[in-house]
Amino acid sequence: MLQAIGLESVEELFAQVPEDLKLRKPLDLPPAMSELELEDHMNRLAQANEAMDRWVCFLGAGSYDHFVPAVVDYIASRGEFYTSYTPYQPEVSQGNLQAFFEYQTMITQLTGMDVSNASLYDGGSATAEAVLMSFSGTGRSGAVVLSQAVHPEYRNIIRTYLENLDTQIRTVPCPQGTTAPEELARLLDDQCSCVVVQHPNFWGQLEPVEQLAQVAHEHGALFIVVVDLVSLGLLKRPSQYGADIVVAEGQCLGSPMSFGGPYLGVMACREEFLRRLPGRIAGQTVDRRGRRCWVLTLQTREQHIRRQKATSNICTNQGLLAIRAAVHLALLGPQGLREQAQLCLWKAHFAAQQITALERFELAFPGPFFKEFLVRDRQGRVADVLHWAWKQGIAAGVPLGRWFPQLQDCFLVAVTEKRTAEQIRRLAQVLAQAP
């Protein structure tokens, strides 16, 4: 091959690189390993972790131990999905494009919104993208209003994204566990482009979304809601209470927890904001012989065409996770999703009842909740309680002190359809014996 190029040595291939810059010694990295050796090494690293296949998981706060049917893994591991890329050539990407079109359709069916994109990175950055969208959507960028009960990491991401822009972030305090419409109204003025609310919120509580949407709209702000997609098996669809942009963490639709990623940023909106959507969108059309087919469309929104005027910088997205979600939703169907949501609801309420039957624990907030609730330890020894439970093989909850000093005596408990009555009773027993 070198001969064909007209070179004598591999070194000459790098003639463009100035000599004085070239690395004179090998990289300081561990030596190569065979598959057999590395298999052993990777197994040892994996086994050094205490994973949720052996612990009973009541952890949530944005990442959930939901059931993933085997078919999802099977389909997603097809090399034709797994090792392809962004469908720049529609003729050889119809599988991906049609799957994205189906994903988009099912996201609109779930949320009731008009349009969905084909994925963003995760729920948190999707929320930040929604906030950026609200600037061009309203022509305002002076301020945004966030409920304090939005995931603290999502709020952190929004803060990061806005840090170098002249936008003020206002936060609605939620001492009662939900966002009060009158409190929201006090923070809104004609500078505000949007209101961001999570429903059910970070603490599991249902928000008065209808009233909040109304207050936002009265002040000309967009209503952005972060939803739990599983809850939509039971709860009203965001379109029914006036959402303008819906975002969500899509991990709950067929992806493992995987220590926080890769996940799936879900985004859907009203038709009016279609041309401000970030990310890829698959659209239906016909080919030169009139056959129905799908392409990436409305690309003039995107960075590879519009450069600095693009709606976002996103290029690589979470395509495979979107396909996982599509397969997952197709397997569940309307009845499956409703049953899953009901099981979460029932089991979470059973768990709350079991835990609060103990003198030591109470619910931190009184309002209705879906699959997650905040437990207060009257003795204020959350770290001890959680550590004790962990030793018994139970991941009992997420402590909140890191984000909410006023809630450091509380932990957040999530109960999915995977938990059994026996595991829940065991949780209560273990909590009863906690030091």
Site for another protein in 70-109 (CB under 8 A): 71, 74-75, 77-96, 98-99, 101-102, 104-106, 108-109
Cis preceding-peptide flag for 262 (omega within 30 of 0):
yes
* Residue 34 Cβ vs another protein, minimum distance, rounded to whole Å: 8
Provide the CB-side half-sphere exposure for 395 (13 A, CA).
Answer: 18
Contact at 8 Å (CB) between 224 and 390? no
Rounded to whole angstroms, the Cα distance separating 286 from 59 reads 47
Interface residue with another protein among 169, 185, 187, 330 (CB under 8 A) is: 330
* Residue 216 Cβ vs another protein, minimum distance, rounded to whole Å: 18
* Residue 359 Cβ vs another protein, minimum distance, rounded to whole Å: 22
* Residue 358 Cβ vs another protein, minimum distance, rounded to whole Å: 17
Interface residue with another protein among 305, 366, 393, 429 (CB under 8 A) is: 305
Between 150 and 188, name the residue whose CB sits nearer to another protein.
150
Q: Phi first, then psi: give them for residue 138, nearest 5 degrees.
A: -120, -15
User: Which one of 174-182, 215-223, 342-350, 427-435 is the stretch in contact with another protein (CB under 8 A)?
Assistant: 342-350
Does residue 2 bind another protein (CB under 8 A)?
Answer: yes
Rounded to whole angstroms, the Cα distance separating 204 from 371 reads 7
Rounded to whole angstroms, the Cα distance separating 352 from 415 reads 9
DSSP state of 369: B
Between 110 and 188, name the residue whose CB sits nearer to another protein.
110
Interaction residues for another protein, span 380-409 (CB under 8 A): 386-387, 390, 395, 398, 402
Interface residue with another protein among 170, 237, 270, 381 (CB under 8 A) is: 237
Residues 6 or more apart whose Cβ sits within 8 Å of residue 222: 134, 137, 138, 193, 194, 195, 216, 244, 245
Q: What is the largest CA-CA distance in the chain?
A: 83
Q: Which among 236, 239, 144 is positioned nearest to 196, based on CA atoms?
A: 144
* Residue 426 Cβ vs another protein, minimum distance, rounded to whole Å: 13
Interaction residues for another protein, span 171-230 (CB under 8 A): 206, 209-210
Interface residue with another protein among 49, 182, 406, 435 (CB under 8 A) is: 49
Rounded to whole angstroms, the Cα distance separating 370 from 231 reads 7
* Residue 219 Cβ vs another protein, minimum distance, rounded to whole Å: 23
Interface residue with another protein among 176, 190, 236, 380 (CB under 8 A) is: 236
Torsion of CA 97, 103, 107, 112, to 10 degrees: 70
* Residue 9 Cβ vs another protein, minimum distance, rounded to whole Å: 10
User: Which one of 174-182, 189-197, 313-321, 358-366 is the stretch in contact with another protein (CB under 8 A)?
Assistant: 313-321
DSSP state of 96: H
Does residue 142 bind another protein (CB under 8 A)?
Answer: no
Contact at 8 Å (CB) between 266 and 248? yes
